[in-house]
Amino acid sequence: MFRKVLTGLGVLAASAVAVPLIVAALPADAATVAPGRITFLAGQTTPDLSAFKQQVLDRDASFPRPGGVTLYTNISPNACNGLTATCNLNGNVVNFNQTLAEYPGAALAVGLYLSDSPGCNNQPLRAIIGRQDADIAGALGQQYRQNLDNLITYLKNTGRQVYLRVGYEFDGPWNCYNTDFYRDAFRVVKQRINTLGAGNVKTVWQSASYVKDGAAEYKFDFSNPNHLADWYPGDDVVDYVGMSTFYWDATYRQYQWACDTPTSTPSVLYDRVLTFARTHGKPAMIAESAPQAYRTANLDASCVNVNNRVSLGGDWTKIGSWYDQFFAYVNRNADVLRVVSYINSNWEAISQFNCPPGASSGAPNCTDGYWGDSQIQDNPNILAGFKRELQNSVFVNGTLSGRGANWGGGVPTSPPTNPTTPPTTPPTTSPTTAPPTTAPPGAGRNAFATIEAESRDSQSGTRIAGNRLTSLTSGDWARYDRVDFGGRTPNQVVFRYSSARPTNQAFTLEFHAGSATGPVIAAPGLLGTGSVNTFTEIPFNVSNLPPGTTSITVVPRANDSADVLDLDWFRFL
């Protein structure tokens, strides 16, 4: 939640035409999520996501991989946007290319900031609409609109599934949006997406779902049962209905709202958003979630509007209750929820959200209230519970039945076991020792043991050099038959490759069930390693594997005819 992150920017580098680093082909079914299954996203700054990868995913290969990541940007002239270089806005550090490279193939949720608070002039919205008001007539208004097109083009070229949260938390008083300007601007954004052919970019209409009303005359009245209708831009331009969920009924008055009087109960607001989504036939998204004002490492809590931290006496289950309510709500509403995003952030490390003890929201040293630390890896019990929740088959990449996590009752969930070997290793300049390999062609192959790339059964365009397939070009393929999954459904495929392409040049490696024209079960976006002798290992989520699959085909994809990669081996996890 970058509430006022773009206030007073003019000193930062101007936006240029956005050219993405990562270009990955989308599977044919990437625009949708399987009915009844939910994609989990992690956010929300580049350092947050790097830490999550290094401290959670790389240490525990069995931790379910997130289906996507969340980042933020803007279209304000003379402001950095994070698309082509690192951008630091009030301590919120964003570098889209870096994060996309660290999470190859992951979906991308983008919070598009369109406010100009505290002036509340709605300049970005008016510029998008094309109004010729004096302050945006001419070059300035054109720059806003050009920046919007640049952003959409960038997102299109990523090849990722993109959830564009247009003016996220549209009804938050802190954004100062005008209802008419917001609705009209949202429609223009969708029109530009269509005009530019960005079919992978889906719009998200996200309510703040805030428990305290703002000014009713400006439609910030969350307690009004008809509140959402005043802001809705139309079924023809909204792809997903979204909301923020920072509070839960059983605990929000204990600490978070102990210092103020809310006007609504959290679940009433959340239910209203989901009812709206169902009524309009739209999938829903929890676009922002975190236990605001708790600290997972220090085990303490505070009010959200003043930093008056109190110790939880070492009882992690008092924070665990927040997660229990969160995941219970997600599971109850799996009929409509398709995407859920969690903010895995140490808010105190970000200057915008720094709020020293005793400071109150709105003060110069506490502009956005108190947020705390919501990093799940900072407490082993919370990490273990979160992992078990994501293993629930209601989530994409979940393979277990039911929730299973123990969050409360004073009985801690067992901490995770010793981390496994990280699935992604630094590049090496010589082959490493791989796990036991499968038998050569003619014998059955264990899908969960290493399958040597050169042991292909059928191929087109590939050749062998030493112990690998070499110089594969776009559209070449290699098929591996008699692959035995033993009745198991794999979560991931891990593979070892090298590429003479530069480390900023992208391509895709498709894994198909059956032949090269069969269903795509994984399509990781990859980068060159700079040399055919520099190898790296990549794990990637597997989905939509048809029952009874016995053949796997690998196909590289690139936008040119040059050599793409060498493939050493692959195996399923």
| pLDDT at residue 3, rounded to an integer | 52
Q: Is residue 357 part of a domain?
A: no
SS3 73: strand
| pLDDT at residue 2, rounded to an integer | 54
Q: Residue length, the chain?
A: 573
What would you report as the CA-atom Rg of the chain, rounded to the nearest whole angstrom?
Answer: 24
Residue 204 dihedral angles phi and psi, to the nearest 5°: -125, 125
Other CB atoms within a 10 A radius of the CB of residue 401 amount to: 10
| pLDDT at residue 438, rounded to an integer | 40
Q: Are residues 255 and 189 in the same domain?
A: yes
Instruction: Identify residue 419 by its one-letter amino acid code.
Output: P
Q: Are residues 247 and 103 in the same domain?
A: yes
Tens digit of pLDDT for each residue in 453-502?
999 999 999 999 988 999 999 999 999 999 999 988 888 898 999 999 99
**Model-level pTM?**
0.69
| pLDDT at residue 417, rounded to an integer | 29
Q: Is residue 29 part of a domain?
A: no
Distance CA 106, CA 367 (A): 33
In the structure encoding, which two tokens stand for residue 567, read together?
A: 């493939």
Catalytic site includes residue 102: no
Q: Are residues 118 and 221 in the same domain?
A: yes
Q: Are residues 376 and 454 in the same domain?
A: no
Q: Is residue 412 part of a domain?
A: no
CB 69 within 8 A of CB 41: yes
- Say how many domains are in the chain: 2
* Angle formed at CA 450 by CA 448 and CA 451, multiple of 5 degrees: 105
Closest CA to 151 of 70, 96, 103: 96
Catalytic site includes residue 510: no
Q: Are residues 379 and 466 in the same domain?
A: no
Q: Are residues 83 and 193 in the same domain?
A: yes
Q: Are residues 468 and 325 in the same domain?
A: no
Distance CA 294, CA 211 (A): 18
**In percent, how much of the chain has pLDDT > 90?**
76
Tens digit of pLDDT for each residue in 389-447?
999 999 999 999 899 898 974 333 333 222 222 233 333 333 333 333 343 334 589 99
Residue with tokens 């931790």: 63
Instruction: Give the 3-state secondary structure percentages of the chain, helix then strand then coil, rounded to 5.
Output: 20, 25, 55
Closest CA to 201 of 79, 86, 112, 113: 112
In the structure encoding, which two tokens stand for residue 117, read together?
A: 């608070």
Residues of the chain with pLDDT under 50: 4-32, 409-442
Q: Is residue 356 part of a domain?
A: no
Distance CA 303, CA 52 (A): 26
Q: Are residues 337 and 453 in the same domain?
A: no
- CATH code at position 489: 2.60.120.260
Q: Are residues 246 and 332 in the same domain?
A: yes
Q: Are residues 76 and 218 in the same domain?
A: yes
| Domain of residue 478, residue span | 445-572
Closest CA to 269 of 207, 325, 182: 207
- CATH code at position 195: 3.20.20.80
| pLDDT at residue 34, rounded to an integer | 52
Residue with tokens 């390693």: 529
Dihedral of CA 38/44/49/55: which sign? Answer: negative
Q: Is residue 361 part of a domain?
A: no
**Cβ contacts of residue 84 below 8 Å, gap of 6+?**
16, 18, 19, 97
Q: Is residue 406 part of a domain?
A: no
Annotated catalytic residue, options 288, 348, 389, 537: 288
**Cβ contacts of residue 309 below 8 Å, gap of 6+?**
295, 298, 300, 301, 302, 357
Q: Is residue 267 part of a domain?
A: yes
What per-residue string of b and e applies to 226-261 under the rule 16 or more CB within 10 Å gives b? ebbeebbbeeebbbbbbbbbbbbeebbeebbbbeee
Annotated catalytic residue, options 169, 389, 454, 510: 169
Q: Is residue 492 part of a domain?
A: yes
**Stretch (H or E) spanning 513:** strand 506-513
Q: Are residues 210 and 334 in the same domain?
A: yes
Of the three residues 355, 390, 425, the one that is the final residue of a domain is 390
Instruction: Identify residue 272 by its one-letter amino acid code.
Output: R
Q: Are residues 124 and 244 in the same domain?
A: yes
